[in-house]
Chains A and B, each alone.
Chain A
Amino acid sequence: CLCCDTWSTVQCDFQSEDTQQQIIRETFHLVSKRDENVCNFLEGGLLIGGSDNKLIYRHYATLYFVFCVDSSESELGILDLIQVFVETLDKCFENVCELDLIFHVDKVHNILAEMVMGGMVLETNMNEIVTQIDAQNKLEKSEQIVYTGLFCISQDFSQAGLAGAPARAVSAVKNMNLPEIPRNINIGDISIKVPNLPSFK
């Protein structure tokens, strides 16, 4: 079983909001204090379900992508999976940046749902994921025009969409900065340019 917390909820068991926030805070705390040149694995604490679980993360610009994984997954394989996820995001959003993730959490969640289901890897083929996501978005668009006929609403729907766990990661980052820093820092220009990163070591 594999959970990618900060993105989807910890999928194994249902947690209260408080516990979820605590997990995010602690994870952020653990991950953010690590140097660049150390390994990307963190032994599990009690909060994420004991020593069988590990935090596996990758750091891109201002964002951390953290997956919480138990022993049924390969550690090194998950690192590649995170890379596939980020590259897929990049394809879907065309040069994805932090603000995309905050305002389009629905899309992010849909993308993740095509990759990971019930804590298990579903699909790793990037093109396949992008094709299916596009098809579903088209389906949404078409029915909004047919059913409501109001374009302004329909556009909003496509953006309102599913507010999913993804922004939780973002919210975690945001909460960390409270209250010392004004919260509306402009982070729009820090984009994750995946192609420029040394992908796949």
Chain B
Amino acid sequence: MPAPIRLRELIRTIRTARTQAEEREMIQKECAAIRSSFREEDNTYRCRNVAKLLYMHMLGYPAHFGQLECLKLIASQKFTDKRIGYLGAMLLLDERQDVHLLMTNCIKNDLNHSTQYVQGLALCTLGCMGSSEMCRDLAGEVEKLLKTSNSYLRKKAALCAVHVIRKVPELMEMFLPATKNLLNEKNHGVLHTSVVLLTEMCERSPDMLAHFRKNEKLVPQLVRILKNLIMSGYSPEHDVSGISDPFLQVRILRLLRILGRNDDDSSEAMNDILAQVATNTETSKNVGNAILYETVLTIMDIKSESGLRVLAINILGRFLLNNDKNIRYVALTSLLKTVQTDHNAVQRHRSTIVDCLKDLDVSIKRRAMELSFALVNGNNIRGMMKELLYFLDSCEPEFKADCASGIFLAAEKYAPSKRWHIDTIMRVLTTAGSYVRDDAVPNLIQLITNSVEMHAYTVQRLYKAILGDYSQQPLVQVAAWCIGEYGDLLVSGQCEEEEPIQVTEDEVLDILESVLISNMSTSVTRGYALTAIMKLSTRFTCTVNRIKKVVSIYGSSIDVELQQRAVEYNALFKKYDHMRSALLERMPVMEKVTTNGPTEIVQTNGETEPAPLETKPPPSGPQPTSQANDLLDLLGGNDITPVIPTAPTSKPASAGGELLDLLGDINLTGAPAAAPAPASVPQISQPPFLLDGLSSQPLFNDIATGIPSITAYSKNGLKIEFTFERSNTNPSVTVITIQASNSTELDMTDFVFQAAVPKTFQLQLLSPSSSIVPAFNTGTITQVIKVLNPQKQQLRMRIKLTYNHKGSAMQDLAEVNNFPPQSWQ
């Protein structure tokens, strides 16, 4: 067999590949050659082959078949072999490999090798990938090396000890005696790694921390080393841009921070040296600033003197003006950390911080934004908000959501007046409406409702804001709600705060109708608009007929949601006209934090709607497990994950039915007294949904629409349709809503829908809306399926249907393969 090609040749060949496919082909060919060489137990070229394998691994090709070969190399006598063997071990072995056992022995031998470089390799490997068993077995060897006089090994042993402690914390005590003399070492490498080891021990165990503070007098030792570094003058060995070993200084400052935290004596002992470092460090270069920055963090973290703290904050203030963006970034980061404890000191740098909002660098902008929000208070709210609103207007899309919710929070906390509050939120909705969280709309509506004296002003502002621009959906929704609620104030033109506008009832209805037909409007927005129009029927005097007409037109809308609403409103006109004005009365003022019934419902409803559906525990009935297993059996292969459906709960999930019942009750018993209160509850929380509640809310507020629905099943009068929604934020989730309808003349009862998907998918089946499919297509059962499809594979699903029909139990299986590509691609 000819000698395998060299690594250098392999690299050269691979670099001539013009396409990924060509590269893959070359690699495959070479891998085959390497495999056969491994099989022949070729000792001469093993090293070369593993080296090539590691190169391929680095390019992203699988190379784990070389794991055992690495072990053989480690066991070799040659340093060259060991070097590659250990590197291969670090790159290819993972913690779960059984080869670890074999390796432990090799490492043990090498830790006692006569060549320091072999010992160094073993330490390095153990410190990089040692599993907890390995660490247990080899900790003794590491501890021995930690006490050696050879600084090359001692520094590696110190870091190895850190790794051992991280893996097996109870071994910490074992290293305690060896730490005694570590800080007397002259070699900076050993000093550096020793400080790392001490830091790890102090951070992990309060006992150790106390021990090092009290018994070992660690603080004076560290102070001495730090002092020597500052005073020592130029030493060519450790000089970096004129500063003596900045890396060691930074490490020591970090350890001092841990020692001084919440400890008066230790803090006292380091005050002087911190002041010295803070005033004497030369800051024309990055190294100096790095030390100064750590010093500031230490001063802020320990119980330092107040003068020192002021000095520290001023250093950060100076950092903010630095031309170097890195310095500005760390200044903002650390001011953010200290803003809670030293609020007033940070406040002094407010204008500089606000200036950083205009920086071109996104990292700095983000920090500046967070810090600006932390600085907002009752005194500066107007000025700060002006800046932040300007920022919201001009910033990158990635900031808008956070910025908008920050403004909402700050406005709620510190708003100087209600009018200002409403203006601010409206401003946010106009500039970044599509980025606000979905509770912004109900929150604003509540705020407006409670500001009784502002109603006329608000409705006018909103009316003007949406004139001709329906792009910001949340704004349009709030506007529609307000126009519906306060339409009478709008047309009467009573507004003291602003010049009243002259609008007629017809003009107002024009606007709402164009919201209804605008193709920018989402289904939810249309719902708001239709309800608003309906409400205006009791607030406007001369346009009731027009309203009736609009409502009846939407009785045949293809949007089921809108259609249902319109049909119900129509019924209100025709059958229950005497109650119409009572039902559509103006919303009462609602307090946000009260405990009485309706408000609570308002709040839970206003938040997230699908939650109650999902949190329902699976029923304890006998059917789930056995049925799921049956299904699994039926489906054959073991590549199917069964899903245990949540059976219909006794109470239907949709509140719509109940409310309809409620209205029915009113009619029958003639007890209108009960009507306004309960009917108004859903109106407050979900303005457009007068007569049905939960089921109509979309699962995501950022759904991608436009995926065609399919008929998944149609047999014996039972028809099942799938409609799809996908979240934009998490495109691997497809939400399928199934609708089962029944065209026969008898109801189908005890209807259970089950589904199974291949293993690469995950499926969650929420509770169905009911277990009865009414006859003559007079109603449907809806049930939501969430499919997680991380690999974006073609969707496939098997479904099982069981129900009782005409007195006999029916059961059917089907496979659904006709999913539209948009639902999974």
- Give A residues with C-beta under 8 Å from B: 8-9, 11, 14, 17-18, 20-21, 35, 37-43, 72, 74-77, 79-81, 84, 102-103, 105-106, 109-110, 113, 117-125, 127-128, 132, 135-136, 139-140, 143-144, 147-148, 156-165, 167-168, 171, 174, 178-179, 182-184, 199-201
Contacts and interface: CB of A to CB of B under 8 A. Distances in A.
6 tightest Cβ-Cβ pairs between the two chains A and B: A76-B290, A163-B55, A39-B325, A160-B7, A14-B94, A118-B127
Contacts of A43: 363, 366
Contacts of B60: 17-18, 20-21, 171
A17 B364 CA distance: 33
Contacts of A17: 57, 60-63
A183 B16 contact: yes
A77 B294 CA distance: 9
A156 B48 contact: yes
A90 to B, nearest CB: 15
Given A38-B361, A76-B289, A167-B58, A103 B128 contact: no
A157 B240 contact: no
Contacts of A79: 286, 290, 326
B80 A39 contact: no
Nearest to A178: B20
B55 A35 contact: no
Given A9-B91, A39-B329, A157-B80, A125 B128 contact: no
Contact of B19 (A18, A140, A178): A178
B698 interface: no
Contacts of A156: 6-8, 48
Given A122-B156, A125-B238, A161 B51 contact: yes
Contacts of A118: 124, 127-128, 159-160, 162-163
Interface string B514-550: 0000000000000000000000000000000000000
Given A17-B57, A80-B240, 11 more contacts: A20-B60, A21-B60, A76-B326, A124-B248, A139-B115, A143-B78, A156-B48, A163-B52, A168-B59, A171-B58, A200-B240
B150 to A, nearest CB: 12
B250 A74 contact: yes
A157 B47 contact: yes
B124 to A, nearest CB: 5
A179 B162 CA distance: 44
B237 A165 contact: no
A124 to B, nearest CB: 4
Interface in B36-88: 44, 47-48, 51-55, 57-63, 78-80, 83-84, 87
B17 A183 contact: yes
Contacts of A179: 18-20
A11 B123 CA distance: 15
B290 A80 contact: yes
A164 B293 contact: no
A201 to B, nearest CB: 5
Nearest to B56: A163
Contacts of B325: 37-40
Interface of B: 6-8, 11, 15-20, 44, 47-48, 51-55, 57-63, 78-80, 83-84, 87, 90-91, 93-95, 115, 117, 123-124, 127-129, 152, 155-156, 159-160, 162-163, 188-189, 192-193, 196, 237-238, 240-241, 245-248, 250, 254, 285-287, 289-290, 293-294, 324-330, 333, 360-364, 366
B15 A184 contact: yes
B58 A164 contact: yes
Nearest to A124: B247
Contact of B55 (A105, A120, A183): A105
A182 B188 CA distance: 47
A42 B193 CA distance: 27
Contacts of A120: 159, 162, 193, 196
Contacts of A37: 325, 360-361
A21 B60 CA distance: 6
A80 B80 contact: no
Given A14-B94, A117-B156, A125-B238, A165 B15 contact: no
A143 B192 CA distance: 33
A160 B59 CA distance: 16
B560 to A, nearest CB: 38
B192 A74 contact: no
Contacts of B84: 106, 161-162
Contacts of B80: 140, 143-144, 157-158, 161
A164 B20 contact: no
B609 to A, nearest CB: 27
21 contacts: A38-B361, A39-B329, A41-B329, A76-B289, A105-B55, A122-B189, A123-B155, A132-B117, A136-B79, A139-B117, A140-B83, A143-B80, A156-B7, A156-B48, A161-B7, A164-B58, A164-B87, A165-B91, A168-B59, A171-B59, A182-B18
